[in-house]
Structure 1
């Protein structure tokens, strides 16, 4: 007699297309919620800033509460309407929603403080120098010399002044503190639009900070490209120079176009 062996395969429950579809939809929903959670701090910060600046009743309310005023220095600071305040609120939200550990928060605070102190010190120095130049009449003298030397051609020189400031200081704030009064006074002397020259100062300065040697050195150090530092500086300087030339053409086209 022959022996018949019947082998039973292990039972597997077949999933219907509907089942797979349900699992897929569930995973997609979970991924969407996770992605929304990740970008939520940026969304909240953007919404806060737009609402606080574009909706007039809210803007007026924020500008009239918690305002710091120092009359002797003609200083006014609207705390609630400052982007920094909403950034602080967003940081608190991020700590709660992501349940960040106290140790990480404390380490981040210390690192931020280390970066903040040199920035504040340099900014105070630049602003103080600018105020001394203004009170001593140096800014007016330099503006007069620039106006007499270049005339309406000053519109071409203005971006290079801002660029030099950004290159030397590595800070758009510092460069503007040093040179924007000079630029505006020179523009007034030669009859150029002061707002246009102020824009040129700010734009050229912000572009030129990319080529600041200290910033290039920091970037090269982070990316472990110390040996390429001089080469990077040359290439970035060419990019900045091209941006300044392009800005000059924009200014000329704006004025005489």
Structure 2
């Protein structure tokens, strides 16, 4: 039996259908922001509500709706949940071995100022990880590092989520941009150029905004020179790399240039006062920072787990290597062919029973549905290998290594339930047609569509947790709508991706990942309340920028 999606199931009326489709999203906002439910409870109840609406209002067969949830839950476990488990595991190894004390000391030797530490780690290092791996790794690792340095866990998670906006569109070696070329037929390079003429404005603003959130206006002005160096170096590199090299490298290059520029600048410039959180004792913090002096070799060894992590993640991100790890390599390189053989046997793509090719989309085509299990190719496996190498670097016993892994699994059981449930929610929302209904409603805004175009991407990332998924979901709708109202389709596609980046900080997946990384399981509502106002503010700014680029600044469109 096949079932065809109906995007206007309520009285054949788009706006009534959109209101019904919006109910699970509004409920999730209410559950976290107002009711302050624990994340796994909010996630599971939102999932159940979406299931009911998909069956009752959208008349989706119960079996198909349930199986779409299982497809999403599996994806929530692998690769997303797997990344979180291995990231937190690696961090805990450095803490238990005592090497994180040296890492903390090395960062404070560059600067003891919390504002500048946030720029180095949350903004620049997080952007590097986003460019290399994507998914939840950047927030998980950078937030854990900040907590280790002494940041309040909620602040660390929130700051890293907000900082992660600047690089998301070019994350995971440019996949969000590249993914739009297939459905739309518009070259990825053209989309990359346009995104590179939007996000640099955000990249300059985000470092300033981060420090403003942390310390207020007066304390932000104290470090304005460092903020300018961090943001401008990132933005300029992002513009040139996205416009002249393509979508694959902007994050990695921008992050490296930004980190290097800020570190060098801090050799010659210091703020008038050293900013610490009100809960910290300045005397104690200064004494701790200056009590021990480590050699260059000790510092290098302490950072080695994260250097190894960077190497593995970067390797996993190379297209040819990624193809081999998943059993899809077709080249002649002997080593990659060997890896391909292993990857082929560790990649499983079983059909989702009762769902694969059973749903017919608006074009009359059946939608394939498989469980995507890339055991070797998953970024979490790269992080696990880094943790394996770390065992020998920090010299822990196999017993302690295994015990730490079990402790990590125990700590993350509720966050993993949250992630599996919210990804299941995303999948049933997409499979039933609810996401498309919401997209079609926003597309009806006519002359104001350039302003609302980024909101589609924002909504897509909120639902799916992924800029790539949002781009796949709405790219063709963006192109068709833009063409019909006289808006350049390249601008609309870029707007979808640029708008999506600020939806990441309120996505249920991202919230669960960040809370898991800093030990705030069950506090997802607090983090959501922290980020939601910033997300709404930033999406409005992006909407204004896109509207201006469509109507006044059209010379910026490639």
Alignment TM-score, normalising by the size of structure 1: 0.60
Q: Is the 1:165–1:175 Cα contact (8 Å) retained in structure 2?
A: yes
Deviation at 1:50, TM superposition (A): 0.9
- Taking the aligned partners of 1:47 and 1:114, their CA distance within structure 2 comes to 24
1:198-228 deviation per Cα after TM superposition (whole angstroms, max 9, x unaligned): 4332212243121112333323334344xx3
Residue 167 of structure 1 is aligned with which of 117, 131, 136?
131
With over 3 angstroms needed to count, the CA separation of the structure-2 counterparts of 1:109 and 1:44, relative to structure 1, is closer
Q: Is the 2:88–2:144 Cα contact (8 Å) retained in structure 1?
A: no
Deviation at 1:140, TM superposition (A): 3.2
Q: Which runs of 4+ in 1 moved over 6 A?
A: none
With over 3 angstroms needed to count, the CA separation of the structure-2 counterparts of 1:140 and 1:96, relative to structure 1, is farther
Larger radius of gyration: 1
- Residue in 2 that maps onto 1:184: 147
- Taking the aligned partners of 1:220 and 1:103, their CA distance within structure 2 comes to 33
With over 3 angstroms needed to count, the CA separation of the structure-2 counterparts of 1:194 and 1:92, relative to structure 1, is closer
Deviation at 1:235, TM superposition (A): 5.4
3-state SS, counterpart of residue 100 of structure 1: coil
5 Å-filtered alignment, 1:91-240, equals: 91-101=51-61, 104-105=64-65, 108-109=68-69, 111-112=71-72, 115-116=75-76, 117-152=78-113, 153-158=116-121, 159-171=123-135, 173-186=136-149, 188=150, 198-212=157-171, 213=173, 214-225=175-186, 228-230=187-189, 232-233=191-192, 236=195, 239-240=198-199
Q: Is the 1:204–1:247 Cα contact (8 Å) retained in structure 2?
A: yes
Residue 85 of structure 1 is aligned with which of 45, 65, 74?
45
Alignment TM-score, normalising by the size of structure 2: 0.31
Considering fraction of residues, name the structure with more helix. Answer: 1
Deviation at 1:182, TM superposition (A): 1.4
- Residue in 1 that maps onto 2:524: none
- Residue in 2 that maps onto 1:46: 26
Q: Is the 1:211–1:240 Cα contact (8 Å) retained in structure 2?
A: no
Paired residue total: 201
With over 3 angstroms needed to count, the CA separation of the structure-2 counterparts of 1:154 and 1:121, relative to structure 1, is closer
Deviation at 1:86, TM superposition (A): 1.4
**Gapped regions of structure 2 (runs ≥ 5):** 1-9, 222-558
Q: Is the 2:126–2:142 Cα contact (8 Å) retained in structure 1?
A: yes
Q: Is the 1:183–1:197 Cα contact (8 Å) retained in structure 2?
A: yes
CA RMSD of aligned residues (A): 3.6
Most deviating of 132-141 and 103-112:
103-112
1:65-110 deviation per Cα after TM superposition (whole angstroms, max 9, x unaligned): xxxxxxxxxxxxx643x23431332222221222113575366356
